[in-house]
A = this chain, B = another copy of it.
Amino acid sequence: MSSSAREAILAAAKRTAQARGYGGLNFRDLADDVGIKAASIYHHFPSKAELGTAVARRYWEDTAAQLDAMLAETADPVRCLRRYPEMFRKALESNNRMCLCSFMSAEVDDLPDAVKKEVQTFADVNVAWLSKLLVAAGLANSKKSQQRARAIFAAVAGAQLIARSRSDISLYDTTIDSYRAAGLLPK
C-alpha cells in the first residue's frame, strides 16, 4: 500500500511524542522505529513542524472517533460520562505514556503555531463532548456546562500527569475515584 509508510511514521511519531513530547521527537530514531532512513521521512512530510501538525491532528481525530464510539456503545449519558477517564487511562496502560496534547501543552513555548492550533483543538473536542453529555445528563445547564466540562478535562489530565510521574496507574484510579467522591464526576 502506498500510504502505509506514511501511516507507520504517524503511528511511531505518536507513540514517541506521548513519551517524550514534541522536543523528544527526532527523525533518526523515528526512522529507525519505522525501518527506513531519516531522509526518507521527508518524502512524506516536508518538515518536523508539518509532521507534528499531522500527528496532533490525527490524535484529536482519533480521540473524537473513540469518544463517539463510546457514546454509541453507552448511550446513557451518566454512564458514558463515568467512562470518560478510560480514555486517559489507556495511555498510562501503554507503557506509562500520556496524552500527547497534555505533553505538548507544556511545550507550547517551543511549538510551531500550526501544532499549537491542533493541540488546542484536542482540548476543544474533549470539552465539547463532555459539555454535550453534561447537558444530556441534566448535570449542568447549557450555560455552565462548558466550564464544568473544562474542569473535568483538566482534572483528568492532571491525574494522568501525576500518575505518570510515579509510573503508578493505581494513583490514577484512586484520584479519579476521589473526583467522583467529591462530585466532580458522576458516581
> Which residues on A are within 8 Å of B, measured CB to CB?
19-21, 23-24, 96, 98, 101-110, 116, 119-120, 123, 147-148, 150-151, 153-159, 161-162, 164-167, 171, 174-175, 177-179, 181-184
In order of increasing CB-CB distance, the 4 nearest A-B pairs are: A158-B158, A151-B178, A105-B165, A154-B158
**Complex formed: what's the CA distance from A97 to B166 in Å?**
23
**Complex formed: what's the CA distance from A155 to B185 in Å?**
12
Instruction: Tell me, rounded to whole Å, the shortest Cβ–Cβ distance linking A131 to chain B.
Output: 12
- From B161, B178, B183, give the contact of A102 (CB < 8 A): B161
- Of A98, A116, A150, A164, chain B has the most CB atoms within 10 Å of the CB of A150
- Of A23, A107, A178, chain B has the most CB atoms within 10 Å of the CB of A178
